[in-house]
């Protein structure tokens, strides 16, 4: 019985290694099908699992599986580790600003937790996604600190709002193709400089229609950002990670760089199950802007962690 049990346990580990190999390698072809793309978001989990299984098979002296796991560790590390390496860039010496962006979850009623965090962090800009009338009303209590704003509150998942200590110009809501979801456009006055700010929250990738709508919105948004002629920052929930073909096409079209670089993966969803966390809330900036900090805030009752980014402009 002991021998059979040992064989059974070994078989489970072998099955897990095979599934891990299929996931790690299969997602290299994520552009082939939307379902494969969904599995591309878990590179950090694949790396951690590869390391654990490598240790198991090394202890078991299973050479072939150990060699396969070494290859999987290297493959997944190739995608994960560069995010922990800073760009070799001189730091901008202009005025620094802090941004807090939070997907608050429309059904979440813990408005006090967000307000306390805003008070503690004291950001210059606050951007809320899934902002309902309840959340808009809660933010009105901070109107003295954040006198400049543009918002569209909606029941459901696509309300959006910007609240700013800094003056805004041309602040408006636009309705993005193909579903007319609201996005923010504004010019933020930072000292003597004008910086374009864009925020968006495309559809969740649940079902073919939603995925196609997300992809179309990101394609249009990437092209628009790529035409900007002034310093530009984007911050929002893109409902995709940095490894998905949809994201890569968006970033290439925009010409912006991801602010996570050098700060790690910073998973933002799901906040209720951190071990499965994936990075889908993003801040991207143009070359004139340096990223001084990129981290998550504390829990606010949402399924997303808030994102707190500190930026600086070159003089």
* pLDDT per position as a tens digit, 36-74: 999 999 999 999 999 999 999 999 999 999 999 999 999
Domain ranges of the chain: 2-84, 96-313
Q: What are the distances in angstroms from CA 160 to CA 163, 182, 184? A: 10, 7, 8
- Quick one: average pLDDT of 29-33? 91
> What is the model's pLDDT at position 1?
45
CA gap 106, 231 in Å, rounded: 31
Residue 240 tokens read as 């995709």
Report the Cα 268 to chain-centroid distance in Å.
6
Q: Are 53 and 20 in contact (CB under 8 A)?
A: yes
Strand boundaries in 136-192, DSSP class E: 148-152, 160-164, 168-176, 181-190
**Those residues with Cβ within 8 angstroms of residue 84's Cβ, 6 or more apart along the chain or in another chain:** 262, 263, 264
- Tell me how far apart the alpha carbons of residues 210 and 186 are, in angstroms, rounded to a whole number: 27
| Homologous superfamily of 96-313 | Endonuclease/exonuclease/phosphatase (3.60.10.10)
Assess contact for 221 and 184: CB atoms under 8 A: no
Per-residue confidence (pLDDT) for residue 3, from 0 to 100: 47
Cα–Cα nearest to 106, from 134, 143, 139: 134
- pLDDT tens digits along 112-133: 999 999 999 999 999 999 999 9
Answer yes or no: is pLDDT of 89 > 80.
Answer: no
pLDDT at site 43 = 97
**Residue 7's pLDDT band (cuts 50, 70, 90):** low
3-class secondary-structure state, position 61: coil
pLDDT-derived band of residue 5, with 50, 70 and 90 as boundaries? low
Question: What is the average pLDDT score of the chain?
Answer: 94
Helix (H) or strand (E) holding 282: strand 281-285
What's the confidence (pLDDT) of residue 73?
98
CB atoms within 10 A of CB 299: 14
């Amino acid at each position: 019985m002991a021998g059979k049990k040992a064989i059974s346990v070994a078989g489970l580990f072998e099955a897990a290694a095979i599934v891990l190999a299929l996931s790690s390698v299969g997602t290299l072809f994520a552009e082939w099908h939307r379902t494969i793309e969904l599995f591309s978001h878990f590179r950090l989990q694949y790396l951690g699992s590869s390391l654990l299984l490598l240790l198991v098979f090394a202890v078991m002296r299973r050479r072939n599986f150990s060699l396969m796991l070494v290859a999987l560790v290297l493959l997944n590390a190739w995608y994960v580790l560069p995010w922990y390496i800073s760009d070799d860039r001189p730091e901008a010496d202009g005025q620094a600003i802090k941004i807090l962006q939070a997907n608050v979850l429309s059904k979440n009623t813990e408005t006090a937790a967000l307000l306390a965090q805003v008070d503690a962090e004291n950001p210059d800009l606050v951007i809320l996604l899934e902002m309902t009338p309840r959340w808009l009303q809660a933010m009105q209590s901070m109107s003295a600190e954040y006198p400049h704003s543009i918002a569209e509150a909606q029941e459901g998942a696509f309300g959006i709002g910007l609240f700013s200590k800094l003056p805004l110009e041309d602040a408006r809501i636009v309705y993005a193709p193909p579903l007319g979801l609201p996005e923010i456009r504004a010019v933020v006055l930072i000292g003597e400089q004008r910086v374009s700010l864009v925020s968006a929250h495309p559809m969740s990738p649940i079902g073919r229609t939603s995925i196609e709508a997300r992809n179309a919105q990101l394609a249009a948004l990437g092209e628009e950002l790529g035409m900007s002629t002034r310093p530009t920052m984007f911050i929002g929930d893109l409902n995709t990670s940095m490894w998905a073909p949809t994201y890569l096409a968006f970033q290439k079209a925009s010409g912006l760089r991801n602010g996570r670089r050098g700060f790690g993966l910073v998973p933002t969803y799901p906040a209720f199950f951190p071990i499965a966390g994936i990075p889908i809330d993003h801040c991207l900036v143009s070359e004139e802007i340096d990223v001084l900090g990129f981290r998550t805030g504390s829990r606010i009752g949402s399924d997303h962690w808030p994102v707190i980014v500190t930026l600086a402009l070159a003089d």
